[in-house]
A and B are shown apart, each in its own frame.
Chain A
Amino acid sequence: MKLKQLLKLVFINITQNKVRTFLTTLGVIVGTATIFMVVAIGAGGEARVNEQYAKLNVGTIIVMPAARGKVADPLTKKDALLFQESENVARAFPLLRGNGSITYDNFSTNAGFQAIQPGFQDSNHLTVQQGRALVEDDEKKKNKYAVVGAELANTLTDGNPSGIVGRSISINSRKFEVVGVYNPVGDSGTGMSYDDSAFIPYTVGEKYLLGTRANPTIIVQATGLETVQSAIEDITNILNETHRAGGAEQFRILDAGSRLVAAQESARTMSLLLLAVAAVVLIVSGIGIMNVMFVTVKERTREIGTLKAIGAKKREILGQFLIEAVVISLVGGVLGVIIGFAAVPLLKYFELPALPSISGILLGLVFSVITGVFFGFYPAWKAAELNPIDALRYE
């Protein structure tokens, strides 16, 4: 029999039992929709991580006190200069960090502030959307100027930061003039959000805000991703030299690249996990198909006998029932993809990043067809192997 005729026969059998066909496809619909959404969520998650870390300098190394509060032998500006002498280090900047109440126009919020040297801005992709950045002169003259991160500016101005430059804010009750607002940079890789911080000159932070409690962190830029490990070794050696009292142990050395890799890996692990769930759903739906096909073969035993009597070959019977299973699962697959598409806005509503893709569609459809072939084969084979006389006698 020609394939086209076989397909017609399958079409007649499927369409004349629409309820059965629909019930059988349900599992495949759910399975395929799940696969499609999983792939979309996976892609969305990875895209989110990549976006988050897009501005991250992967060669960044953070040297910070291991414990909170006062350290016996804290890091100093000099350490930063010493680090910079290592051939594996491009630049190193001391950084003072604090937390406190930031007030603007009678509105107060709790946020971080960071005292930085001007060069820090360049190496961390901090560019201004309004006003100007901090400059060497501010550092020298200890100007009480501040540049505000994009998100903090939004928070302080209730979403309308255009007027903030030139006005003053107070950080822990000390007044600063806002000279600029940075563009958003996403995750800094330093454990503190730049977008949600206020930045002031390093010397000003030392003098007014943190004083003797100043306990700097040093942000180091390795010469490249591949020199990060060597730079960390150099830094450790320097710290052991210069901080004899506690040595390198009192400091934590983190590198941002490994944070990115970890985040990417966890997004990928999540995708795989969800994919496994989808696979289980499909296997269950496949067993459903197999059950229905067994019942179908049993119901049609006498028909199969008749087909054999009028000359159907084994492979034609096998083909007919296999195609029937595959068509049923493919119908489920197509419906599943459509439902998956429809669910994307819903996922976004629940803040799950979903990115529908061609590969998600293909993966869903391929899996549904594989399910049909795999679980349809055994019943179809049983049908093909039926003894014609037994089949004809079947009541």
Chain B
Amino acid sequence: MANNAKCIIDAKNIVKIYQNGSDELKVLDDVTLQVFEGDFTAILGPSGSGKSTLMNILGCLDLPTSGQYLLDGLDVLKASDNELSGIRNKKIGFVFQKFNLLPRLTALQNVMLPLLYRGISESEAMERAKQKLTLLGLEDRLTHRPNELSGGQQQRVAIARAIVGNPDIVLADEPTGNLDSKSSQDAMEIFKELNQQGNTIVIITHDIEVAEQVNKIFYIRDGKIYNDGGKGVG
């Protein structure tokens, strides 16, 4: 990684505590991490270690209990609700384990949606969505609804939707968790390819095989982050 690359994610001392009655559950404990432009990063950890919680915070879906978070230099903790929506729309592309496509929309309409929320015209959104779906080999599935597509195809539609708006970063939470091994491998190839084209990608996973295919790994255990397999603090 080049030292002069732009810092996209700059999170410092992130703490997330869930209050459960009088019980306090510290799910993220002083997490500090940075992701640079062009990185292909994995956050690896066992189930329940706080990976999704971390991704929700990095993806501006949730706010930390304390800490500091700059996304592309912007202080997320000071943003209003509306501004957070705008940040998610323009700067972040999400890929979910369960794909999260809208069931009544076609593949094309699903991919157009982030652009439409940005106020881009229908014709331009359609053009750009088609282009991304073609890039992912789905040019003959444009008018299919999610239930007419295989799991691997649905995840490719979801990846197209994540990258259609040229976000600063793609956040994928267990993107291969619901896929068979062939489709998983296809999805990983797509992520590699997208990274080579310059996309910054963070994959969250509990699967060591997935994590081995990226350039940089953060380990997470019990809400603490390490970057050397858990032997010392990163």
A2 in contact with B61 (CB, 8 Å): no
Q: Can you list, as one digit per residue, whether each of B121-151 has a CB less than 8 Å from chain A (1) or not (0)? A: 1100000000000000000000000000000
Q: Which residues of B contact A388 (CB under 8 A)?
A: 61-62
- Name the distance in Å between A76's Cβ and chain B's nearest Cβ: 88
A316 at the interface (CB under 8 A from B): yes
Smallest CB-CB separation from B162: which chain A residue? Answer: A310
In the complex, which residue of chain A has the Cβ closest to the Cβ of B85? A313
Min Cβ gap B147→A in Å is 12
Across the interface, which residues of A come within 8 angstroms of B118, CB to CB?
A: 311
Q: How far in angstroms is the closest Cβ of chain B from A248?
A: 80
Chain B CB within 8 A of A175 CB: no
| A193 and B81 alpha carbons, distance in the complex (Å) | 75
Kindly report which residue of chain A lies nearest to residue B89, judged by CB atoms.
Answer: A311
Q: For the complex, give the distance between the alpha carbons of A313 and B161 in Å.
A: 18
For residue A309, CB closer than 8 A to chain B, the reply is yes
For residue A387, which residue of chain B has the nearest CB?
B62
Assess the A310–B113 pair: CB atoms within 8 A. Answer: yes
- B window 95-130: CB within 8 A of A: 96, 100-105, 109, 113-114, 116-119, 121-122
B56 at the interface (CB under 8 A from A): yes
A308 CA / B88 CA spacing, docked (Å): 8
Per-position binary interface string of chain A over residues 291-321, scored 1 when its CB falls under 8 Å from any chain B CB and 0 otherwise: 0000000000011011111111110100000
Residue numbers in A under 8 Å from B117 (CB-CB): 1, 307, 310-313, 316
| Contact (Cβ within 8 A) B102 A311 | no
B85 A392 Cβ-Cβ under 8 A? no
Q: Please tell me if the beta carbons of A310 and B94 are within 8 angstroms of each other in the complex.
A: yes
CA distance A306 to B97 in the complex (A): 12
CB proximity of A389 to chain B, nearest CB, Å: 5
Cβ contacts under 8 Å, B73 to chain A: none
- Check A392–B61 contact: CB distance below 8 A: yes
Is B216 interfacial (CB-CB < 8 Å)? no
Of all chain A residues, which has the CB nearest B122?
A: A5
A67 close to B (CB within 8 Å): no
Instruction: Point out the residues of chain B lying under 8 angstroms from A1, CB to CB.
Output: 116-117, 119
Chain A residues contacting B59 (CB-CB under 8 Å) are: 309
User: In chain B, what residue has the closest Cβ to A14?
Assistant: B104
Decide: B88 and A302 in contact? CB cutoff 8 A.
Answer: no
CA distance A310 to B113 in the complex (A): 8
Once bound together, how far apart are the Cα atoms of A305 and B94, in whole Å? 12
Interface hub of A13, A311, A389 (most chain B Cβ within 10 A): A311
Sample of 19 more A-B contacts, CB < 8 Å, known A5-B122, A313-B85, A392-B100: A1-B117, A2-B119, A303-B100, A303-B102, A303-B103, A307-B102, A309-B59, A309-B61, A309-B88, A309-B94, A310-B114, A310-B117, A311-B90, A311-B118, A312-B117, A313-B81, A388-B61, A388-B62, A389-B61
Residues of A within 8 A of B (CB): 1-2, 4-5, 12-13, 16, 302-303, 305-314, 316, 388-389, 392
